[in-house]
Every structure is written in structure tokens, then in C-alpha cells.
Amino acid sequence: MHEWALADAVIEATSSALAGRNPSCLRGVTVTVGELQAIDHEIFSFALRTLLEERPFRTAEYHLETEPARFLCVSCEKEWSFAETRNLDDQTREAIHFLPEAAHAFIRCPFCRSPDYRVQKGRGVSIASLTLDSSGSCA
């Protein structure tokens, strides 16, 4: 499943980021999930916890944060958020969450109605920060 593949990639990225450090000193990882990323947070968290069991940094806590979507209009250069996108019914919002690539079929710039805009934020999954213990044997 999609969530499991993403969780695996996040765990791998954590492992790479820890290169040269004692992995058991890792305390927390903050993971940013884009608002438009079609992902079930519960399944994703469960996948992270499960995959973490096999790693030397298994005691680390993963925190998920949602990154709000930001759109930038190419025509009028104004920015807006997903919440500010007008004329979308609940069903359409659901469709966009499920398939972010479909956003262009539904969303227009709320200022000039142009369909020519960029999704600047709110897509994908990334590691925002790692927290390492700096006391005891980790100092």
C-alpha cells in the first residue's frame, strides 16, 4: 500500500540522516505531510511504528504535521490556500484530497479565475526535523 511505501521511505531517510551518529540517541522525528497528499494518517502512523521496530532507533517518536497547501497564480501572481479556494463542494474537496493531480481540473485562481497556477506547498511527505538526545552517552 501507498502509506507503507511512504513510511518505508521516511524510515530510510531517517537512517541516512543519522549517518555517523548513534541511532539509539534519536528521540523524535517530525514528518510533514502535505494537505493535498492522499494519505491516511492512521495507516501511515501505524506503518511507521511497525517498520521502526526493526531499526536501531526504534524508541524514536514520529510526529506528523500537516503542511497547508499554497497556490500561486501565474497570471496575477496572487497566492491562496486550499481553504480559500471558492466554489468547491465537499465532494470535490474529497476528490482533490484523494487525487491531488486532479486539482487543476477543479481549482481556478479565486482572484482572476485563471487555471494557470502552481502548487507551491502541500504536496508530498518530508522529514522536517530530527531531535537527538544530547545527554549521557549521547552527549
Residues that bind Zn ion (CB under 5 A): 73, 75-76, 109, 111-112, 114
Please count the residues of the chain: 139
Alpha-carbon gap, residue 117 to 89, rounded angstroms: 20
Question: In angstroms, what is the minimal distance from the CB of 72 to Zn ion?
Answer: 9
Question: In angstroms, what is the minimal distance from the CB of 84 to Zn ion?
Answer: 12
Looking at the Cβ atoms of 9 and 76, the one nearer to Zn ion is: 76
Looking at the Cβ atoms of 41 and 104, the one nearer to Zn ion is: 104
Question: In angstroms, what is the minimal distance from the CB of 89 to Zn ion?
Answer: 22
Looking at the Cβ atoms of 41 and 113, the one nearer to Zn ion is: 113
Alpha-carbon gap, residue 32 to 136, rounded angstroms: 30
62, 58, 50: which is closest to 1 by C-alpha? 50
Alpha-carbon gap, residue 16 to 35, rounded angstroms: 26
